[in-house]
Structure 1
């Protein structure tokens, strides 16, 4: 199994298209400048020792060194052995609201990003509990099946955004029903759900779905995102904000935290309700309740003895830089004397 110890550094690879565009622009500029000086064949005779193809080779070596360097910094690791082990834990399903109202900025930087940061911190503090993620708006989807692979959980978490569910709305009940289908009720472990939402439920009966969950010994906790005063919902186009969502009369839509709905769901689910703030997500309070759940031993397979492989990539990067350094813009006299492609006249 391959994993990266610092996967966030792989974002550095996004700079490659920028380097490529800059190189193309500079190359075109040089070509135009040479054409202004005169005929290319004449220029080759005036400066016979200058190689016009060497910069391309040097650029390729530089880009290879950059790619190897970024991968090396991310520290690729290989799991050399898989072992089956016994863990004692509970099952925790996160139900995350990804409707457009979660983009409101009454929490920094917005409700959704604030919630994702809190979930990431929660994952960092897990040890043996299994975790899954369901995202919902007008519909609900399983983003992450139940797992103990916390690295994968954070990777899936980073990809969550409001555009991943095409149907807008807030179907909390559907998310609860889908979360229930994701549990394995044959293993006997304690189970809980944490709903992270602004509480604007417009699609179904969330309280009825919560009561069905409680009938199967699943507790349901709620984290309220936003403020009672509310905030406008930003509208984005091509990654840039282009105003705010408006209703049919042209008035700006204000999304407010529906605490009554959140509290009603938590009460029906025998769980806790906490209103999140910029300083405290409230997940620590909820986890305090979840820690009281019954935990049972279950079997799981995982890779052990992960070995670092960063040294190979850093070595390749260094080698490419050394080769690039010793390549000059002068033509090789030996190669030029060979004249392999010269056509001799009869």
Structure 2
């Protein structure tokens, strides 16, 4: 198993595209300045030692070395010893709404990011309970099967966005049904779901699905994201907001929290409903309710010993930097004068 001891440092890789763009812009500026000196062939004769390819090679080597350094700082570790142990806990499935309405900014910075932060805090407070993640919009998908690997749960959580489900909508019922299929009822552990949504269900009968779950002793809880007044849904292009969603008449669509729907689901699922705010996600209340779920002992295989592998990436980075250092920006006139494949005219 692979994990990173300092996974947050991997964000340093996001700077690489900016470096590449900046280098391309600098090279274009140099080419324009070079062209202003006169005819390209004549100017090349005046500066025969200048190489236009070697700087690119040096830059590529430097970027690869930088990426390797970032990975080394993140400290990749490989599990070397797996042990099977007994744990006593319950199975908890998070059903996260990723429809476009979750981008509404009546919660800071928006509903989805606020929900992801709350889930991160939930994972930090778990001990022996297993957790899984399902994302849904017009359809539902398993993002993470039920597991005790909390590091993997955080890793998968960071990748969640509104673009990962191609069909828009809010099929809460389909998410509940998929959650039921994802549970292993043979192990006898208690089961519970936490649905995090704005409650704008347009696709199916979520209340009936919650009722069926409760009949199988699966508690269905809901955390409502949003406000009663609601907020418009931003539209993004290339990472920038370009406006808001509009209806067929051209009016701005305002997404509001549907508390009635959320309460109906929890009533049918015999769980708790909490409306989240910027100050409080409501997870404490929901977890108190889930605390009533029966915990049972189950077998869990976990990696106990992890070995660091940062030294390989660090050594590779230093090797590339040494090679980059000894590559000159100038041409080797003796080598460039060789014409190994040139046919002499007689």
> Which whole-Å CA distance do the structure 2 matches of 1:294 and 1:42 have between them?
82
Distance in 1 separating the partners of 2:101 and 2:41: 61
Q: TM-score, normalised by structure 1?
A: 0.88
Q: What does 1:121-132 correspond to in 2, within 5 Å?
A: 121-132=121-132
Length-normalised TM-score, structure 2: 0.88
Task: Report what 2:116 is aligned to.
Answer: 116
Structure 2's unaligned 5+ residue stretches are none
Unpaired runs of 5+ residues, structure 1, are none
Are 2:57 and 1:18 aligned?
no
Report Cα offsets for 1:236-265 as digits up to 9, x if no partner: 333322222223333322222122221222
In 1, the alpha carbon distance for the partners of 2:199 and 2:287 equals 20
**8-17 vs 270-279, which moves further:** 8-17
Post-superposition shift, 1:193?
A: 0.6
Q: Is the 8 A contact 1:34 1:40 kept in 2?
A: no
Q: Could you tell me how far 1:144 is from its partner in structure 2? A: 1.6
- What SS does the aligned partner of 1:263 have? helix
Structure 1 residues 167 and 32: CA distance shift in structure 2, 3 A: closer
CA change 1:87–1:52 in 2 (3 A) is same
Relative distance call for 1:111 and 1:32 in structure 2 (3 A) is: closer
**Post-superposition CA distance 1:33-81 (Å, at most 9, x none):** 556355658755x556655554234323322321111111221111112
Name the CA shift for 1:337/1:237 in 2 (closer, same or farther; >3 Å): closer
- Residue number in structure 1 paired with 2:59: 59
* Change beyond 3 A, Cα 1:54–1:282: same
Q: Per-residue deviation at 1:17?
A: 3.4
Residue 73 (structure 1) aligns with? 73
Question: Displacement, 1:11?
Answer: 3.1
Match of 2:236 in 1: 236
Q: CA deviation at 1:9?
A: 2.6
Partner of 2:145: 145
Shift of the 153–39 alpha-carbon distance from structure 1 to 2, 3 Å rule, reads closer
Query: 1:203 corresponds to which residue?
Result: 203
Give 3-state SS (helix, strand or coil) of 2:132's partner: strand
CA change 1:330–1:288 in 2 (3 A) is same
Q: Are the structure 2 counterparts of residues 114 and 336 from structure 1 closer, same or farther at C-alpha, using a change threshold of 3 Å?
A: same
**Corresponding residue number in structure 1 for 2:311:** 311
**Distance in 1 of aligned mates of 2:335 and 2:244:** 65
The equivalent residue for 2:101 is: 101
- Residue 179 of structure 1: CA displacement? 0.9
1:285 equivalent in structure 2: 285
User: Matched residues in 2 for 1:168 and 1:34: separation?
Assistant: 52
- Secondary structure of the structure 2 residue equivalent to 1:163: coil
Count of aligned residue pairs for this structure pair: 344
